[in-house]
Amino acid sequence: MLFIPFAQAAARELPDFSRLVAKHGSTVVNISVTRDINRAGFSSDRPLPAPPAERSSRNFTDRYFEENPEALDENSLGSGFIVSPDGYILTCAHVIENAREILVRLSDRRELSASLVGADRRSDVALLKIEASGLPSVAIGDANKLQVGEWVLAIGSPFGFDSSATAGIVSAKGRTLPNENYVAFLQTDVPINPGNSGGPLFNLKGEVVGINSQIYSGTGGFMGVSFAIPIDAAMKISAQLKDNGRVRRGWLGVSLQEVSRSLAVAYGLNKPRGALIADILPGSPAAKSDLRSGDIVLEFEERLINYSTDLPPLVGLSAPGTLARFNVFRRDRGMQTVAVTLGELKEETSNRTPARHERVDNKSRYGLGLSEITALQRSSFDIDHGVSVTGVDEGPARAAGLHPGDVIMEVDGKRAGDIPGFYRLLDHIPPGKPAVLRVRRGMATLFLAWQRAGPLLP
């Protein structure tokens, strides 16, 4: 029997990226940006709030300049890649933000001035144009076909070191980060550092599958978690930037909630899945359709929705005016198909968080303290019925996830008009059978599963 040394056998299993780099490295460019000196332009607007507090997801250039203030008087660096032989280049929007001058350095050391075709902050995608022809351009892949564990390669200019190649695997797909609802990021463990931002992420076929955009770091450098914009989303956005100079996104007008195991049992689903519509904005496209608060969206245009974060990117990439079909699960009627004409997403405005009523009453037999809703709650929350939660003890209320300050509006779709009426609704719930509470928490609406006797699931 032929004996193969372990090191030699392992080497045979690892990919050789040398041919890929040699063939496609010329499509990657270095981007140098001269900015107006304005520190406010570099403040991070993409944090990931997760313990410990010092860890955060930062745009690469944002974090670099925060920790190197002396560099504010110099050019910032990033990466990009050529998507057409006539000089169109994709990069990240934060790389060229507040730019006075954009200079592109090609692999043959030519330096060309670039014009900004358009940039989209929501997706962090920007399209540039240089005056050149016959340029090498990337092959565009399909990020949807990527598998978790698949090898990928990044080429860029970390810390200004041109044409640096780093490799790793796809760690996860469909990651939605705080303040990034309209991008379902690819997560990788490819070593990424300041200067890689805007560069391409290749699969083993030499196709671009993503744009390296963000890192999760406590130091500003690579710590094993990187995020890339899927190339299919980036290409749709760049096409709009090229045609219109801006991006028009589809808008539904709902707030969404994850479907927990307890809610799945309460609805009769075989497993937790889908996006639960917690609330519908008055006057929105959803409000003008047959969608209801409490519906669970399982499919959008025949695309499966496993998590609540799957839906916003799909809706956002749909053109305003599109007649979109939603397959929803409705607790009282099962599967339904609802058609909605999507509107156009406008710029976000800040939300005011109203003060909560804090008077505490005695706890009931359900471990729940209640009071009638106040005039302030009626006006602040725009509600005309419900009971206010003033305290929560051990028992069904805590197991359901109720908090002091919540307003319980419905039990199994029936209005909770006052405290006695609310208890009558609870008393009619059979022991062991879960009910669904519709709750207003601050300016958000959510659904909670309630069971009288013991926890809902073992």
Q: Which residues are catalytic?
A: 94, 124, 197
Beta 207-217 vs 139-140: how paired, if at all? parallel
Task: Please tell me the distance from the alpha carbon of residue 161 to that of residue 444, in angstroms, as a whole number.
Answer: 47
- What does the DSSP 8-state code read for residue 52? S
CA-based Rg of the chain, rounded to a whole angstrom? 26
- Whose CA is closest to 137, among 31, 208, 68? 208
Prior bond to 52 cis, omega within 30? yes
Q: Which residues pair with 114 in a beta bridge?
A: 102, 130
CA-based torsion, 384, 385, 386, 388: positive or negative: positive
8 Å CB contact between 439 and 409: yes
8 Å CB contact between 126 and 93: yes
Q: For residue 197, how far is the Cα from the chain centroid?
A: 18
Q: For residue 193, how far is the Cα from the chain centroid?
A: 21
CA-based torsion, 328, 329, 331, 337: positive or negative: positive
